[in-house]
Each structure stands twice: as C-alpha cells, then as structure tokens.
Structure 1
C-alpha cells in the first residue's frame, strides 16, 4: 500500500511540474505578444527614438501612425478567418506601408540608419530560422 501511495505522490509531483513548465513556456512568447496597440506603439517609438534620436514631432507622428497600424493588425488577428497565407500577405502589406510612412517622417540620415537596423534585424531573423 505504501508503494502505491508513493507512486501517486510522484505522479502528482510530475504532473504539477509539467504544468508549471508548460505555463512558463507559454509566458515566454515573443515581445509584444500580449500588448495592447497603445503599448506596442509606445514601445516602437521608444525603440526608434533610442536608435535614431527622434525629435518630438517625429515621435508624435510615429506614435500616431504606429497606433493605427497596431490597431489594424490586432483586428486582423482577431478575425481569425483561417487563411494564414492571406493574413501573412496583409501583414507584409502593413509593414511596407509602415516603412514608407516612417521614411516620410525621418531625415535622410535617419533613413540610412533605419535601413541598416532593418537589415541587421533581417539577418538575425534569418540566422534563427
């Protein structure tokens, strides 16, 4: 009887540990996964300001446009129409529009630096995949 109780306790401990590990993995999603559009827009402005030394007008313009984009992207994901390829294409379109708008706000020097940053990010993404 003692052996049976010991086995039950061990199984319970194992299941609890497995659940805790799974929960922790779920919490380690990529940055921005559970953020509101406002939080994502603010984080984007902070990231760009750090990298490009934006002035206040640029920060305000980028925040406004980034908020619009984040809200549209969130709506796209909440639709969940099931067509993954279509959503990926829309996200690509959002990114291209965002880059175009962003470049219209930045100075020539900032655009060059932004393009370098984008190239580095792309290379890091490629190396992870």
Structure 2
C-alpha cells in the first residue's frame, strides 16, 4: 500500500512539473526569438488579420525587422533611466504604427486599428 501511494505521489509531482515547465516555455517563447523571427511572426500575424499582398508583406517585414533591432538595442542598454527607455519605446511604437499604416489600404487600416485596440485591452489586466 505504501509503495502504491509513493508511486501515485511521484506520478502527480512529475505531471505537475511537466505542466509548469510547458507553461513557462510558452510564456517566454517570444522573448528568446531573434529580430528576424519576431519580424516574420509580426508579418504572419498581420498578413492573416489584414489579408496583405506580397508587396505589403515584404515592406512590413523590412520595417518590422528594423524596428525590432532598434527595440532590442534599447533593452540591451541595461542600466539607466527606465522611464526614459519606456518613453523611447512608446515613441518608437507610435512611429511603427504610423509607418505600418502607410503600407495599408483604408480598410486594412481600420482592421489594424481595431486589432491594436483589442491587443491593448487584453494587456490591460496584466499591467494593473
């Protein structure tokens, strides 16, 4: 009976550790990607949501890659004024949104803005 109980406890702990590890892997997956992988993921996300043509995808990829490298450089600065870096990131994001919209049609811009609002609303609970 003790052996059976011990086996059940080991199975339970093993399953719990596996679930926790998988959850951790999914949450940190975006943080370890290269700028190229992030730009590609952004183009895929936008391509699906906005029905982008190949020219739009290429333009957005180039700009997104540039933007991602800029953001990575800001994060790698490490020490320093956190507020200043956050303001730089906000400014960079606004510039990015403006540039992305320049590649889109009017209908795509509306869809893009709606998607941005939804993303902001989903992030809201995490920031509070």
So what's the TM-score if we normalise by structure 1? 0.77
Query: Which whole-Å CA distance do the structure 1 matches of 2:40 and 2:112 have between them?
Result: 18
Which of 28, 31, 34 is equivalent to 2:32? Answer: 34
Please say which structure displays the higher CA radius of gyration.
1
Is 76-85 or 65-74 further displaced after alignment? 76-85
Partner of 1:8: none
Shift, 1:30, TM fit: 4.4
Query: Which whole-Å CA distance do the structure 1 matches of 2:25 and 2:122 have between them?
Result: 23
So what's the TM-score if we normalise by structure 2? 0.77
Shift, 1:122, TM fit: 1.1
Are residues 1:78 and 2:76 paired?
Answer: yes
List structure 1 segments (4+ residues) > 2 angstroms apart after TM superposition.
Answer: 23-31
Task: Give the number of aligned pairs.
Answer: 111
Structure 1 residue ranges without an equivalent (≥5):
1-16
